[in-house]
Homo-oligomer: A and B are copies of this chain.
Amino acid sequence: MLEQMPEQVREKEPLVHVITNFVTVNDCANIILAAGGSPIMTSDIREVEEIVGISQALVLNIGSTDTVEAMTAAGKKANEGNCPVVFDPVAAGASQLRKGICKKLLKEIQFTVIRGNISEIKAIATGSSTAKGVDADVMDTVTEENLESAVKLAKSLSARTGAVIVLTGAIDIAADADHAYVIRNGCQRMSKITGSGCMLTALIGAFCGANPCYPLIAAAAAAAVMGISGELADKKATEQEAGTSSFRNYLIDAVSNFTKEQFERGICIETY
């Protein structure tokens, strides 16, 4: 079923309502379009419920912290209509404000998927973090050594929140309370552009919008598509002696040209 996920997005063209930050909003809209979805990016509280009502997925990204009221209204409306809600707790541990926002949103909204780096997921799980700004702390990354405890963290946070947890880094984990996928795709260059995380969250929104009944598989597939696309983009950037900005374009290019063959050949996934 996993390998059919990318095509489902192109077939169903889900409308994805995204409330997000102004830093990476253009990349998020473009990656949703590249995957086959249709993005709408409004955060105006006077219309978010109406827009959620016509959308197949809702993405909430706290990179911008001034739309929490609109996020709450949109999230509640989505919950009423069984519209999947994907949450990106950007820099969750970096300030008291963000910790408070995460707490409030987690209380008010039933999330379908929560995606963050390990610093962000730890901040959500424990209320504290060693995060350095928006990037995961180097002391705080998923490696083969701490993989087991990271999977345990994801599963237990999923049990507590009812959301699929996607924990991203050099190794990605997608888990519900009982099952976990470990995905070893992607490349180091993804950490040298802004928006890798936000774009994956937006992509998960599109995948869940096309496959609302299977959020764990949809999220794992989206993470794999992002990772494989990153590898393809990295290869092209290296061949062309290009840098990070061209890499960002090649990454979105790869998503827009993504084939079932690339998916099946490229995916490096195991259950854990």
Query: Which of B51, B96, B252 is in CB contact (< 8 Å) with A47?
Result: B96
B contact residues around A4 at 8 Å (CB): none
Cα separation A98 to B38 with both chains bound (whole Å)? 18
Smallest CB–CB gap between A148 and chain B, Å? 28
B contact residues around A25 at 8 Å (CB): 22-23
Count identical subunits in the complex.
3
CB atoms of A40 and B245 under 8 A apart: no
Q: Which of chain A's residues 234-264 have a Cβ closer than 8 Å to chain B? A: 241-246, 248-257
A134 at the interface (CB under 8 A from B): yes
Smallest CB–CB gap between A135 and chain B, Å? 5
A44-B65 in contact given A242-B253, A257-B241 (Cβ < 8 Å): yes
Q: A71-79, A119-127, A165-173, A190-198: which one contacts chain B?
A: A190-198
A30-B245 in contact given A54-B94, A94-B54 (Cβ < 8 Å): yes
Query: Which of B40, B195, B251 is in CB contact (< 8 Å) with A134?
Result: B40
A132 at the interface (CB under 8 A from B): yes
Which B residue's beta carbon lies closest to that of A242? B253
Q: Which of chain A's residues 120-152 have a Cβ closer than 8 Å to chain B? A: 132-135
B contact residues around A249 at 8 Å (CB): 245-246, 249
Query: Which of B34, B194, B244 is in CB contact (< 8 Å) with A26?
Result: B194
A3 at the interface (CB under 8 A from B): no
B contact residues around A96 at 8 Å (CB): 47, 50
CB atoms of B252 and A244 under 8 A apart: yes
CB atoms of A132 and B15 under 8 A apart: yes
CB atoms of B55 and A133 under 8 A apart: yes
The chain A residues found within 8 Å of chain B, CB to CB, are 15, 17, 21-27, 29-30, 33-34, 38-42, 44, 46-47, 50-51, 54-55, 63, 65-66, 91, 94-98, 132-135, 192-195, 241-246, 248-257
A-B contacts, 17 listed (Cβ < 8 Å): A15-B132, A22-B41, A23-B41, A39-B134, A40-B134, A42-B95, A44-B66, A47-B97, A47-B98, A50-B95, A51-B94, A241-B257, A243-B256, A245-B248, A245-B251, A245-B253, A246-B249
